């Protein structure tokens, strides 16, 4: 399968507009149509319904969407790994970054890379349970930190939950106004604590949400919202920094939805690069020690 087809599919799914999708990935509209036609033949199903007025994902397109996102992300990781080997770096730090931590992570990585230009940074999006043995540092929701004396922690920053809705929606919602909405939520497997926080909000408001889809990535969630499938709750950083033209950001007006994030790293790591990165994290973190 040509990876150009996947890139084109994701662009069309985001914009629901072939000409705009083609513009964003620097190809012609006719080529975008050919890519989608070829992909549909390979998949054996129509992925979009197209009329003179609108473009929509089919049921098959919605089913294919999270897998397309995963293919694109894995290709990026593979290219990065090859490039790092070609660069001949001798040091490496492996960081796992949960949604909602991107801006803090970017600041730390920028400072670290300028200060230690010979050390490669391998960044992975954290999903589901964290295995600290795979990473030198993890940035995550505080309540997901592993309960172990082998690790040091620090609170890094706070955020809040925000609603992402199709364009044209309200600028704020009261909980009572969510009763009749349909939801696309990040799956529990991808982020169990975030999922639990959202469900607690529903329980407190005595709402039984109509959940129509639970993709495994925030990108797939936001694409689904842009496609008009429903609304979602995500960290404000994720909504504001990743929303497309077809998505409106809205506040939760009558509840405290604060999310607290932290960083964790192994106390006795044998990786000197990891220790240097931990020092940068502590310098820019809010500085609170996390106590169970």
Residues 168 and 211 in one domain: yes
- Predicted confidence (pLDDT) at residue 288 exceeds the cutoff of 70: no
The residue segments making up the domain with residue 169 are 159-258
* Contact between residue 271 and residue 136 where contact means Cβ atoms under 8 Å apart: yes
**pLDDT value for 35:** 93
Domain end position, chosen among 46, 67, 88:
67
Can you give the CATH number for the domain in which 25 is found?
A: 1.10.10.10
> How many angstroms separate the CA atoms of 116 and 267, rounded?
21
Residues 252 and 170 in one domain: yes
The more confidently predicted of residues 174 and 149 is: 174
Per-residue pLDDT band at 86 (split at 50, 70, 90): low
Residues 166 and 279 in one domain: no
> Has this prediction a pTM greater than 0.85?
no
Residues 149 and 200 in one domain: no
- Predicted confidence (pLDDT) at residue 102 exceeds the cutoff of 50: yes
Residues 220 and 86 in one domain: no
| Distance (Å) of CA 51 to CA 1, 93, 157, 215, 289 | 26, 49, 46, 27, 56
Residues 271 and 147 in one domain: yes
Per-residue pLDDT band at 87 (split at 50, 70, 90): low
Residues 141 and 170 in one domain: no
Residues 171 and 246 in one domain: yes
Residue 291 lies in a domain: no
For 235-274, how does the pLDDT look when each residue is reduced to its tens digit (9 = 90+)? 999 988 876 678 889 998 888 889 999 999 888 887 888 8
- Predicted confidence (pLDDT) at residue 289 exceeds the cutoff of 50: no
**pLDDT value for 88:** 46
Residues 185 and 233 in one domain: yes
Tokens of 268: 């006795």
Residues 129 and 265 in one domain: yes
Residue 72 lies in a domain: no
Average pLDDT over residues 30-44: 92
Can you give the CATH number for the domain in which 190 is found?
A: 3.40.190.10
Domain end position, chosen among 67, 101, 120:
67
Per-residue pLDDT band at 83 (split at 50, 70, 90): low
Average pLDDT over residues 8-23: 91
Q: Is 262 exposed, middle or buried (0-12, 13-18, 19+ CB in 10 A)?
A: buried
For 109-142, how does the pLDDT look when each residue is reduced to its tens digit (9 = 90+)? 999 998 888 888 999 888 765 566 789 999 999 8
> How many angstroms separate the CA atoms of 22 and 35, rounded?
10
Task: Give the dihedral of Cα atoms 103, 278, 111, 194; nearest 10 deg.
Answer: -10
**pLDDT value for 2:** 81
Split into its structural domains, the chain has a count of 3
Residues 269 and 148 in one domain: yes
Task: Give the dihedral of Cα atoms 55, 59, 64, 66; nearest 10 deg.
Answer: 90
Residues 147 and 166 in one domain: no
* Contact between residue 284 and residue 115 where contact means Cβ atoms under 8 Å apart: no
For 196-242, how does the pLDDT look when each residue is reduced to its tens digit (9 = 90+)? 999 999 998 899 999 999 998 888 999 999 989 999 999 999 988 87
Residue 289 lies in a domain: no
**pLDDT value for 292:** 26
Tokens of 40: 């549909």
**pLDDT value for 73:** 86
Residue 73 lies in a domain: no
Average pLDDT over residues 31-40: 92
């Amino acid at each position: 399968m040509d990876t150009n087809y996947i890139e084109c599919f994701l662009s069309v799914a985001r914009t629901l507009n072939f000409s705009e999708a083609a513009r964003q990935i620097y190809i012609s509209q006719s080529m975008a149509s050919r890519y989608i036609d070829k992909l549909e033949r390979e998949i054996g199903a129509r992925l979009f319904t197209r009329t003179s007025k609108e473009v929509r994902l089919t049921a098959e397109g919605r089913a294919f969407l999270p897998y397309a996102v995963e293919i694109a992300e894995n290709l990026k990781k593979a290219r990065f790994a090859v490039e790092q080997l070609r660069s001949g770096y001798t040091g490496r730090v492996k960081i796992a970054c949960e949604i909602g931590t991107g801006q803090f992570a970017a600041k730390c990585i920028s400072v670290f890379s300028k200060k230690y230009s010979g050390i490669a940074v391998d960044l992975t999006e954290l999903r589901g349970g964290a295995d600290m043995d795979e990473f030198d540092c993890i940035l995550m929701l505080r309540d997901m930190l592993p309960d172990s004396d082998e690790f040091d922690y620090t609170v890094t920053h706070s955020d809040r939950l925000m609603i992402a809705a199709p364009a044209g929606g309200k600028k704020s919602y009261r909980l009572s106004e969510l009763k009749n909405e349909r939801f696309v939520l990040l799956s529990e497997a991808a982020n169990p604590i975030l999922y639990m926080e959202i469900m607690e909000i529903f329980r407190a408001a005595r709402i039984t949400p109509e959940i129509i889809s639970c993709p495994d990535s925030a990108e797939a969630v936001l694409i689904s919202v842009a496609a008009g499938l429903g609304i979602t709750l995500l960290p404000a950083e994720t909504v504001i920094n990743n929303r497309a033209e077809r998505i409106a950001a809205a506040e939760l007006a009558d509840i405290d939805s604060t999310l607290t994030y932290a960083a964790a790293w192994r106390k006795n790591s044998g990786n000197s690069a990891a220790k240097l990165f931990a020092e940068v994290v502590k310098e820019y973190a809010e500085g609170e020690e996390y106590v169970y």
